[in-house]
């Protein structure tokens, strides 16, 4: 949002978009999931320079967790197709909403076969290794706490 607007106005449209996308309306979710350019547009937010705006990050996190809740395997397939996305997510782990997003991804997989798919993806992307690297590094405390 534009910085020259007051806070209420700056976040009005992102909040409205978040509420629509997380309303549980099947047609909205299906459309978003069937159009990869729409997902790309959503995930462009992660390409922002740190630190992320925490309110916008919370809107983003809510939407992505909702998508994982509805279509976890399809979302995992999408994440796998985006080179460098895991590193981008972890670069923003100091934002609590992104930490919540990572936890939401893990919790979206309920069935044993889905959990295996998730574990395979996490192993392929070395997520646990990368989180441990953050924990033992000399990065600011918030990033270490959220990675832990």
> In this predicted model, what pLDDT tens digit does every residue of 28-81 receive, in sequence order?
999 999 999 999 999 999 999 989 999 999 999 999 999 999 999 999 999 999
- Residue 78 has a pLDDT of 95
pLDDT of residue 24: 86
What pLDDT, in 10s, does the model give residues 91-140?
A: 999 999 999 999 999 999 988 988 999 999 999 999 999 999 999 998 87
Query: For all residues of the chain together, what is the average pLDDT?
Result: 92
pLDDT at 25: 87
Give the pLDDT confidence score for residue 59 in this predicted structure: 97
- pLDDT of 1 above 60: no
Contacts of 58 (CB under 8 A, 6+ apart): 97, 100
Task: Give residue for tokens 């993806």.
Answer: 121
pTM of the entire predicted model: 0.91
Q: Which two tokens stand for residue 144?
A: 């270490």
Rg (CA), the chain: 16
């Amino acid at each position: 949002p534009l910085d020259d607007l007051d806070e209420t106005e700056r976040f009005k449209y992102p909040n409205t978009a978040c509420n629509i996308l997380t309303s549980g309306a099947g047609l909205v979710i299906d459309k978003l999931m069937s159009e990869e350019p729409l997902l790309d547009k959503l995930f462009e937010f992660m390409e922002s320079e740190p630190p992320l705006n925490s309110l916008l990050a919370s809107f983003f996190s809510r939407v992505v967790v909702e998508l994982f809740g509805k279509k976890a395997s399809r979302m995992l397939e999408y994440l796998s197709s985006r080179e460098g996305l895991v590193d981008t997510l972890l670069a923003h782990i100091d934002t609590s909403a992104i930490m919540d997003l990572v936890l939401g991804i893990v919790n979206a997989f309920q069935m044993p076969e889905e959990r295996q798919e998730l574990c395979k993806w996490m192993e392929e992307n070395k997520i646990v290794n990368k989180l441990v690297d953050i924990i033992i590094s000399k990065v600011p405390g918030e990033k270490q706490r959220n990675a832990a």
